[in-house]
Amino acid sequence: MKTYLVTGGCGFIGSNFIHYLFKTYDNDVKVINLDKLTYAGKEENLKEVAGRENYLFIKGDICDEECVNSIFKTHDVDYVVHFAAESHVDRSILSSKEFVISNVLGTTTLLDAARNAWLMEGDAYKEGKKYLQVSTDEVYGSLGDTGYFTETTPLDPHSPYSASKASADMIVKSYIDTHKFPANITRCSNNYGPYQYPEKLIPLLIQNCLAHKPLPVYGDGKNIRDWLYVEDHCRAIDLVLRDAKVGEIYNIGGHNEKTNIDIVKLVLSYLHDNYDPEITEDLITYVADRKGHDRRYGINPEKIGRDLGWRPEIMFDEGIVKTIQWYLNNQEWLLQVQKKVKM
């Protein structure tokens, strides 16, 4: 039985990853979920697994050394999967300090705790231990009309959020290089799917459509993102944990580049045709562009395919329908969080 310490497990990707683990391994894993329960983290995301004997929730801050160290002293942690992060670009533009504290200091606290728990004599580490830093393609900056991010693309972050994630990545790399620490870094494209907090594009669109509220579109709406269904991402993370060579960095992309306005119109069209004919493109409202708004992200995931045999299984046309239907079937969940969203 492998013991996973999942940070930020009540958030979007973290909760999906925990669901994935129990769906895939059932009672053959133990999951410790460390989450501060900030505005974007909800225990309700994991209510189906809360009663399992092999699941433990701990409310705590990754910056709290005493809390983090106590977990490693109490439990024989095999894998650390570090999702916990402040991740909303607009919020980072308004106030960057909390992003630096959580994303940089929190990562360092986790690294030190894991290293101290796993280190043996002679700078060797206990067998089978690994730390995984879950990062983002935003650390690479912006692409032109052609080309893709690879694992060797220089880091060039353009927002306080992406700068804090790039800083955390560099700290992890320094532990790999300096301490021979058993870690990997993954950088993913835009995730979508169930349980995503509705300050992000797709759930925000769905929420506003259902309420017949304006759909804010930055600039001309032609910024391009690569979209990855969250379960495909979870599967990739688990492969990296179990099979990847220590120190390797992997880009995880969905082969689904779409402009923001295309996403808006696709969601509108589906809801208009299948749910409410009064949901129309009249709701689209163009707003001033975001500061430092990267024009295009595109990931080349060939390395993880070549090394680990991973490929995205859920293409966007299927995944977006699954996602919209999930939100339609879980409108009570959406109502519980919508008052906390700052437009």
Instruction: Find the helix packing angle between 12-25 and 230-243, rounded to 10°.
Output: 60
Q: Is-catalytic flag, 137?
A: yes
CB atoms within 10 A of CB 147: 11
The sign of the CA dihedral 7, 48, 194, 3 is positive
CB atoms within 10 A of CB 219: 15
Q: Is-catalytic flag, 250?
A: no
Q: Is-catalytic flag, 138?
A: yes
Contact 84, 11 (CB under 8 A): yes
> Closest Cα to residue 289, out of 210, 222, 197?
222
The encoded tokens of residue 48 equal 């189906």
The active-site residue out of 55, 161, 229, 250 is 161
d(CA 248, CA 316): 28
β-sheet bridge partners, residue 132 = 81, 184
d(CA 299, CA 308): 17
User: Which run of H or of E encompasses 13?
Assistant: helix 12-25
SS (H, E, C) 99-157: HHHHHHHHHHHHHHHHHHHHECHHHCECCCCEEEEEEEHHHHCCCCCCCCECCCCCCCC
The encoded tokens of residue 126 equal 């206990």
The active-site residue out of 137, 169, 231, 232 is 137
CB atoms within 10 A of CB 227: 25
The active-site residue out of 78, 138, 169, 238 is 138
Residues carrying an active site annotation: 137-138, 161
